[in-house]
Amino acid sequence: MEAANYPLFFIHISKTAGSSFRVAAERYFGKEHVFYDYGPKANETNPDIRTLDYEKRDRYAAGMKIVEKAKFLTGHINHPKYAPFIPAKNAITFVRDPIQQVRSHYEHFTRHHRYKRSFSEFVNEPRFKNVQYKAFQGTWPDAIGFIGLTERYNESLALINKMYSIDIQGLDINKNTEKKSSSYELSGEEIALIKKHNKEDFKLYEYALTRFERQKLAIESDTPFIRFGKTNMVASDEGKMIKGWAADYNSQSPVVIDVRVGKKKIAEIPASEYRSTANERNIHRNGFVGFSFTYPKKLKNGTQLDFAAKETGEILLSDTIDRQV
């Protein structure tokens, strides 16, 4: 894998092993090259960010200062805030089993923020719902450079080091020392409550598990890792066409997509159309990563089409023709 152009941008989601990773990164890069943004009142927040972004409200100046001085940027912030300054391929985050993350988040608040309410009240508060999902709002999850798993932290760290040609060492800090086992034990009622109020987090975690295996295989075998997804289109076009995006961060050429019906290839299209979100989020090729395909009239309703990356053969997306009269 190619070495990263600094800075790396670590999106720190609460209680996902982020503290361990950020401290380890500080030891590797040096304090002078690590910028924190935990809000205007946090002591950790870098003075330049506090002055330029929060006091003078000049995020452009803050972003340029980060690009000039930092090798590693982190905070409880989502991707869009600094996306204009840092390529999406340099964005890193960790996600965690929502059951464990929610309970850990509650324990953290009771220990460090004097939270006095019950666990059920905590889970019911809007600010604590779908915390992990909220960190991805405003961007395409598959565009994030690397999404690690808290439960597989050491393995994730090894992959990050290989992907970005760095050597951050493993640390284990900011844990609840009163916890008797490696995971929290919750009642069936508590688990049901968490699932009820964090549906988006569970969807995100399931996606992250699948993506982790895909990216692990690509990194370890040094083969292309194709990022992809559907993009918005009007409801009346559903079932008649598809719009999406695909990108290979290690190539400036567009991803070529084979359109298949079963084993038969019926078309070949490049992912080279402009997508404004891709440009605004600094994803790749200045936003020219989109593709669209109108389903041929000769194909009947109910026909399934597969969209596969030509280079790897991997099926990225599938859709079924459904032309509503």
Q: What DSSP line would sit under 206-259, residue for residue?
A: HHHHHHHHHHHHHHHHT---EEEEE----GGGBTTEEEEEEEETT-SSPPEEEE
User: What is the domain extent for residue 48?
Assistant: 8-221
Same domain, 137 and 117: yes
Instruction: Kindly report the pTM of this predicted structure.
Output: 0.92
- Are the CB atoms for 52 and 58 separated by under 8 Å? yes
For residues 128 and 119, give the distance between their C-alpha atoms in angstroms, rounded to a whole number: 11
> Are both 292 and 200 inside the same structural domain?
no
173 domain-assigned: yes
Angle between helices 199-221 and 153-164 (to 10 degrees): 50
| CATH number for 120 | 3.40.50.300
- Do 159 and 243 sit in the same domain of this protein? no
Q: Is residue 325 part of a domain?
A: no
Q: Which amino acid is at 105?
A: H
User: What tokens were used for 36?
Assistant: 């924190």
Same domain, 203 and 99: yes
**How confident is the model over 289-312, as pLDDT tens digits?**
999 999 999 999 999 999 999 999
Of the residues 203, 221, 239, the one at which a domain ends: 221
Shared-domain flag, residues 242 and 166: no
Q: How do residues 156-165 score in pLDDT, each as one tens digit?
A: 999 999 999 9
- pLDDT tens, per residue, the chain with 325 residues: 444 578 999 999 999 988 899 999 999 999 999 999 999 999 999 999 999 999 999 999 999 999 999 999 999 999 999 999 999 999 999 999 999 999 999 999 998 888 899 999 999 999 999 999 999 999 999 999 999 999 999 999 999 999 999 999 988 665 544 555 578 999 999 999 999 999 999 999 999 999 999 999 999 999 999 999 999 999 999 999 999 999 999 999 999 999 999 999 999 999 999 999 999 999 999 999 999 999 999 999 999 999 999 999 999 999 999 987 5
For residue 2, being part of any structural domain is answered with no
Q: Which of 170, 200, 221 is the last residue of a domain?
A: 221
- Residue in 230, 161, 158, 178 with CA at minimum distance from that of residue 3: 161
Domain boundary among 221, 247, 271: 221
Span between the terminal Cα atoms of the chain, in Å: 49
